[in-house]
Amino acid sequence: MNQLKRSLVFAATFVVAFAFAGTSAQAMGSGNIYEDLQVGVSYAVYEPNYTAGLKERHNGATYPCPKGTDENVLAEYGSAKKSLLTVIEGNPLCGDPGGAGKVVKKFKVQGATATMIANCYPGDKGYVSCDKSDIATVGGYVSVTLPSQGNLKRTFAVVMAGGTKPMSAAKLERVVKSMTPIATNQNLIGGMVTCTQADLGDVIQKGLPKGQVLVSVNSFTCADGWAYAFATTGDGKGNNIEQTFVFEAEGQFWIPKNRSQVCGTVSANSPGARPADSQVPASIWSNACNTN
């Protein structure tokens, strides 16, 4: 079998294998499969900021991992009929999506060594001369171990270029170098909970009365299992107000709290001082409790 046919067969088999793996990764329903899966796994989930112009086409499926093992990320962009980009992540990876092939380049990603492999195999015509330029013809992949984040473990990632017109080695490398941890600039709050604008925005939106919509989450901070957010809400007709929302982390979720019940009994003599009976930690009390 020549290189191109082997690449196409491999890509098709890979896509079918993942297509029936299920959709349980969408734990939080934010619409971002990376953010949703991060809530339920113990390794750091990474998302590429660059996908060579390919649009995401396959949301939420995960590799069929053994019971008791963290689910693996699966995200696909583009199409196997043209150019297909596939991102797989896990710790451990529940399979070997990359296979064999020929190493054509190594480069650094966030301090780790990434290995680029072309879908060229011993016995194939042109194997000896196969190099990174062949990625654009026969496809290939990059494997890399990305660093841990906070209390989240390191991540084993495989990023694949496939389809009938695979992207170039340069674009594939750029995709890998754009991988950004979902946990970056987040305060990881006990257990599986993460503090993101999307997480808090989802909770706010679900708790709004009928006819009200979330316009924006303007700022937020999390600390010691609690969070506050300054958010703008409105009626969808331009009548907007800014409100302060307070949340407590419970298990995998943020639970909205009534500020009058958790902020404590404020003294009339010292309205700006945190009361002794406040449940909200001192580090965020002023913004969470002493605002509108």
pLDDT tens digits, 158-179: 999 999 999 999 999 999 999 9
pLDDT of residue 69: 83
pLDDT of residue 48: 94
Laid out side by side, the sheet with 240-250 consists of 213-223, 226-234, 240-250, 253-257
pLDDT of residue 66: 82
pLDDT of residue 157: 95
Nearest Cα neighbor of 39 from 80, 73, 15 is 73
pLDDT tops 80 at residue 137: yes
Q: How far apart are CA 153 and CA 155, in angstroms?
A: 7
Range of lowest pLDDT (14-28, 103-117, 243-257):
14-28
Q: How far apart are CA 169 and CA 54, in angstroms?
A: 15
The average confidence (pLDDT) of the chain is 82
pLDDT of residue 7: 45
Q: Which residue has the higher pLDDT, 40 or 58?
A: 40
Range of lowest pLDDT (15-29, 123-137, 162-176):
15-29
Nearest Cα neighbor of 259 from 292, 220, 224 is 292
226's CB contacts (< 8 A; 6+ apart) are 246, 247, 248, 249, 279, 280, 281, 284, 288
pLDDT of residue 63: 60
Share of the chain above pLDDT 70, in %: 81
pLDDT of residue 40: 74
pLDDT classification of 25: cutoffs 50, 70, 90:
very low
pLDDT of residue 219: 92
CB-CB contact of 193 with 173 (8 Å): no
pLDDT classification of 64: cutoffs 50, 70, 90:
low
pLDDT classification of 68: cutoffs 50, 70, 90:
confident
The dihedrals phi and psi of 47, each to the nearest 5 degrees, come to -125, 135
pLDDT classification of 181: cutoffs 50, 70, 90:
confident
Please name the residue that has the structure tokens 């007709």.
Answer: 237
pLDDT of residue 28: 43
pLDDT tops 70 at residue 97: no
Range of lowest pLDDT (12-16, 171-175, 178-182):
12-16
Cα angle for residues 14, 20, 25 (degrees, 5° grid): 100
pLDDT of residue 88: 93
pLDDT of residue 185: 39
Please name the residue that has the structure tokens 């020549």.
Answer: 2
CB-CB contact of 273 with 285 (8 Å): no
CB-CB contact of 194 with 39 (8 Å): yes
pLDDT of residue 39: 73
pLDDT tops 90 at residue 86: yes
Residue 163, SS3 per DSSP: coil
pLDDT of residue 145: 96
